[in-house]
Structure 1
């Protein structure tokens, strides 16, 4: 089984990182040597002044919103198509959630919809770069700042992507990246908060300092996850894991980072930072492979009834996965198509099984594009471990099986 998303880690890489970590003196580990190196290299890579590392992407979002001193009932705008746990975190913190519609085929926040819904009551706008595809962050930031709202860029799926020759995550007041499984690079768990605002960075750092350190048993658990995840680079092993987990994606299953807010209040570890340094050095190579694979799909897929994001010259997507909108397909035929992929050994998912407005008791008619994209979109893999044979299999299924169903 070919996984839907993957940042390659290999067993020898895990073992080497572990060996290097334990060879380092306890004094060096206590002084957070690897943490500082990883943080500084991220800062240089993004060309961003201040970076904080967190135990997960959601922990990063939580610390940013706490650093903004948001009060219960403060309004936060979120796109109506994004990771559902972002919405859950906003509401769990007692904040007022407001959804805005998205653009067709980009799956990103529509600036025009934002302009209609934002007001002086809005404290924060969370702008997501879905699937590694940059949103119109300059317009979103301008609209938000005109109304006195702060912008958090959710670039969890998009590390390394660029918009107008600048890395996404560095346009807003704060940027957020995830290092969880299934992201562009991974340390199994982890998050990155970046900003050019020294006051905000100091507040995030101060909040992080109050969090607990993971115990020894949790670090053993993280190592076990790392080693198991590295074995999933072998498709046969991943097929076994996939079936044992009831046909659930490994990355998606474990990226649900919290059941309560206390789960977010832990520190990022030195051991993970050691692996992070190695992963960051490979990010551009991984993303170039994803871009190459996505380009191959766009060039070879029969576009009759299929739509996917158009790439303008001012954008460099990272393609953490490749979304495809099916113009005329029923839910029944959509499920048949998913089964065709699974039977062929390729993991394909709809990303959102149901619309976010529906989950939060909003009128679906108020978010027509998000509703439409949710119901008729499937995502296919583009990760670096795929070869031409895998891509040709995707093309064959979509160019033949889909049109039979269609």
Structure 2
């Protein structure tokens, strides 16, 4: 009987509140920072800010990849955009450049560019593709990544978004950030005042930390009605400020993230060298990983590996292309509907945990199981 299950993601949350007024240590030259209640809200803010300069476009469009979190649709819907879904590359979560070129047009105001688990998009190539349409902005979505060193914080997008939600690189149970280029036109986007409930936040953070214990998390996975890890569409209803409690602990959690070394990543690199067909995993596009991404040759191989590693935190992530995610309706998006690469990716993809709770012993046990399926 399995008594322990590693969570797929989630570094421990440092809950010691600072008595001083919260001041973040983030300083990114050339960018102004706007703090919001979530990463989805940060994306929506960026889209609304962009839209304010192009009021003559009645139906602005934003391009999103066919394999991604449905929160991108939530942000687009809130901001009054038509999301245009574009396929990805074979064995690579980045945009298919030919499909992107066909999708961009005079109504396109933005392309959301995803840093996938710590694997960057080819932003320079995307900029070249959309160059004929000068109104298009690049919105970098870094919800699944955060820079470890100042040298990594070299952004190219007009807008750069981050999330501090549960299971993120720097987790504060909530909060989002959008960095806006200083050169952008100045526009006001209405943001409601942040709600403050320090006791509730502390209680929730301590509960989440306890639930990350492998014994406790194993019990949670047995409760099927919780639908742990299920992907579905959630509507965004408002923009509000960054939770005050999260700001009080942000610096401490940033320091912990920056100083944390991953024991699991090099072990999994060796173990998956022959099995993983994810093209950019060993490229210069790779940074620190939120989860270890694994792309198998077939759905059968993925499913077998998943079942063998489920107690070690294996996750299938998004199991369908974006248009098929639960809660996504046909009226919510546009596109040519030809998402073969995204569908194949969804059927063959899984992730393995590399968070602070994954020890060298865990990683070597995973490697042994992987060897049996290679």
Q: TM-score, normalized by length of structure 2?
A: 0.85
| Correspondence for 1:177 | 162
Check whether the contact 1:144–1:151 (CA below 8 A) recurs between aligned residues.
no
**Counterpart in 2 of 1:29?**
none
Q: Which runs of 5+ in 2 are unaligned?
A: none
Number of matched residues? Answer: 359
| Contact 1:75-1:98 at 8 Å conserved across structures | yes
2:29 is aligned with 1:42: no
Moved more, 57-66 or 91-100: 91-100
User: Residues 82-101 of structure 1 correspond to what in structure 2 (within 5 A)?
Assistant: 82-101=68-87
Pair 1:156-2:137 in alignment = no
Match 2:205 to one of 213, 217, 226:
226
Give the direction of change, closer, same or farther, for the CA distance of 1:112–1:259 in structure 2 (3 Å limit).
closer
Which structure has more relative contact order (CA 8 Å, sep 6+)? It is: 2
Alpha-carbon separation, structure 2, partners of 1:224 and 1:335: 37
3-state secondary structure, aligned to 1:375: helix
1:392 partnered with 2:364: yes
* 2:103 matches 1:103: no
CA contact (8 A) 1:144 1:150 kept: no
TM-score normalised per structure 1: 0.79
Cα distance between partner residues in 1 of 2:6 and 2:30: 35
Q: What is aligned with 2:312?
A: 346
Say if 2:12 is the partner of 1:2: no
Q: CA deviation at 1:6?
A: 1.4
Q: Say if 1:184 and 1:388 are closer, same or farther in 2 by CA, change over 3 A.
A: same
Q: Contact 1:72–1:96 at 8 Å: present in 2 too?
A: no
- Measured against aligned partners, the alpha-carbon deviations of 1:199-236 in whole angstroms (never above 9, x if no partner) come to 55x53xx435x4033154xx433222211122244322
Q: CA deviation at 1:56?
A: 0.3
Q: Is the 8 A contact 1:348 1:378 kept in 2?
A: yes
> Does residue 236 of structure 1 match 2:215?
yes
Deviation at 1:293, TM superposition (A): 2.4
Give structure 1 stretches of 5+ with no counterpart: 25-32
Distance in 2 (CA, whole Å) between partners of 1:387 and 1:214 is 37
Higher helix share: 1
Cα deviation for residue 363 of structure 1 reads: 8.0
Q: Over the residues paired in the alignment, what is the CA RMSD in angstroms?
A: 2.9
Instruction: Label 1:68 to 1:384 Cα distance change in 2 as closer, same or farther (>3 A).
Output: same
C-alpha change, 1:339 and 1:313, in structure 2 (3 Å) is closer
Which residue of structure 1 aligns with residue 59 of structure 2?
Answer: 73
Kept after mapping to 2: 8 A contact 1:353/1:374: yes
Shift of residue 246 of structure 1?
A: 4.5
